[in-house]
Structure 1
Amino acid sequence: MTKDTRRSLLVLSGGHPYEEEPFAALIQFLGRELGGLAKVTWDVEHLIHPDAEEAVAGGAAEEADALLFYDMGGYTFGDGTVTSRPPSEGFKAAVRRRFASGKGAVAIHHALAGWAEWPEWAEMLGGRFFYQPGQWQGRAVPDSGYRHDVSYEARVVASHPVTEGLPESFPVTDELYLCQIDESAVHPLIRARHDFTRDNFYSAASAVAGAMFSREGWEHAEGSNLVAWWRQVDKAPLVYCQFGDGPETYSNPHVQRVLVNALRFTSGDTP
């Protein structure tokens, strides 16, 4: 494709805590790497909710060449409870228009839990992390599981622009999820060598209620070991990567390569 001399990356965050300075360093790195040998300057804009939701509704996501979701919109936590709300109609319409126009996006880590009251978002992603028991594809499911600081081998399972330049496997230390993933609706890219069973995770609902690192009274079926995949949403690709809990992951060169590749792929820089 013909490259412009300047292109834009829009990053959305908010709704979930993260370490701001290391993450800011990551997105600046992504902006530099996206230009690469093509000598294209990428302008990076980072928006945080609620401003991010308003800006997207106003057209920011449609104008950006590349889009990275690191947000978890629609939640309010407090006093051992969680409440949720859907995004504005303007936000929903703008996201739909982006994919309908052929522009894709990358979503990472806790974006899989975002917008619990907008089921279409989970359908776009091909999965969902549940903070409370709920409904998934017409059946009742428990709250999802989490586990911080898991050291595991990530195994590449597909030859694809997103996995280009990666070794067959690479080490990662990061948070993992035991959650709902529809493998029939996605194209697998990377799997984790880890047992995705109830005994290796903790209940998200218990954590919300104040009992961190608890699985007492919680049951969950064995889950998928997929940690990166892509799927087509309307006319554009959407890549999801479970990587992204904190600084150790932000600085992992293999994770950085995945993100750069994914942003290039979803912005049309690679076929």
Structure 2
Amino acid sequence: MSVIDYQSQTRLLLSVKGHPYDRDAFFDLFEGMPAVSYTTVEQPASQAFFAPELAKQYQLHVLYDMPGLDFSSQPPGLMDPPAHFKQNFLDLLEEGHGFLFLHHAIASWPTWSEYAEIVGGRFLYRPGNVRGNPCLDSGYRHDVTYTAKVQPWLPITQGVPECFSITDELYLYEVFEADVEPLVRGDYPPHWQHFYSAANAGVGQMYSNDNWLHPRGSELLGWVKHYKNSPIVYLQMGDGSSAYGNPHYQRLLYNAVSWLASDAALDWARNRNLG
């Protein structure tokens, strides 16, 4: 949007950078949302807007970034998040703020274990530990056409059909299923034979699953949860234009934005935190 929108009921901050994406097509998703305005800030500058006094300008943060990984080396180097950013993030979560994590954002800050607890899972570019357990690196597969099975979780799934077809990248990753409320499942088999190793890709061996016997993964592609007093949604969909242009993904995304920006979502998270 070329003009500043001072009238929108919902203001969101988009944090981007760290992973390739189609900028114009991605931003078009938010241009078309009624009564929504957005401000885009790239990493690492966007970290400043996690300070509660700056974050209060926005109803929610949308994270489509992937900080904490240095791809200038093979394998990628792992970077620690700044201490002040971590504290600001945790203070904001305690205060109560909406967060929408999209696609590759689940791979961010691999050295910060609490980040995975905030999101509800972890994509690993290198073998590591998740919740104290050793895990192989995660898997990926581009341009998969599959059926998304929507779980009835109003209001986020309102107006979205129970099943719809979409073509997108899929992950074989770690999901904390016991700690999340499911939104979307996929029918593509979460078996290592159908995916490629992220660690192999990180050393230049794209589209390889050699010597990589990853355990069966989760079919969950989206969920809702809370962390401290904040409502959180993760949607694994959204790698590129084939997903961006899907009207059912667009509706799901808009519903998530609308709910996360609402007082009802903040009350839901606070009540769960008290429970």
Whether TM exceeds 0.5 here: the answer is: yes
2:243 to 231, 234, 249: 249
1:62–1:98 contact (8 Å) kept in structure 2: no
* Structure 2 alignment gaps of length 5 or more: 1-6, 266-275
Does 2:20 match 1:17? yes
Equivalent in the alignment of 1:224: 218
The CA distance in 2 between the partners of 1:75 and 1:269, in whole Å, is: 34
Q: CA deviation at 1:157?
A: 1.9
The CA distance in 1 between the partners of 2:73 and 2:104, in whole Å, is: 21
The CA distance in 1 between the partners of 2:49 and 2:82, in whole Å, is: 11
Q: Which runs of 4+ in 1 moved over 6 A?
A: none
The CA distance in 1 between the partners of 2:150 and 2:18, in whole Å, is: 30
1:90 to 78, 84, 87: 84
Q: CA deviation at 1:135?
A: 0.3
Equivalent in the alignment of 2:101: 107
The CA distance in 2 between the partners of 1:137 and 1:171, in whole Å, is: 33
CA RMSD between the two structures: 1.7
What is the letter of the counterpart of residue 17 of structure 2?
Answer: G
2:137 to 101, 126, 143: 143
1:161–1:270 contact (8 Å) kept in structure 2: no
Q: CA deviation at 1:228?
A: 0.6
The CA distance in 2 between the partners of 1:199 and 1:5, in whole Å, is: 47
What is the letter of the counterpart of residue 16 of structure 2?
Answer: S
The CA distance in 2 between the partners of 1:12 and 1:173, in whole Å, is: 24
Q: CA deviation at 1:269?
A: 5.6
The CA distance in 2 between the partners of 1:212 and 1:59, in whole Å, is: 43
Equivalent in the alignment of 1:27: 30
Does 2:199 match 1:205? yes
Identity percentage of aligned residues: 38
The CA distance in 2 between the partners of 1:189 and 1:79, in whole Å, is: 36
The CA distance in 2 between the partners of 1:229 and 1:96, in whole Å, is: 20
Q: CA deviation at 1:6?
A: 4.2
Equivalent in the alignment of 1:48: 42
CA distance 1:163–1:104, shift in 2 (3 Å): same
Q: Scaled by the length of structure 2, what TM-score is found?
A: 0.89
Corresponding residue SS for 2:12: strand
Q: CA deviation at 1:80?
A: 2.4
Q: How many residues align?
A: 259
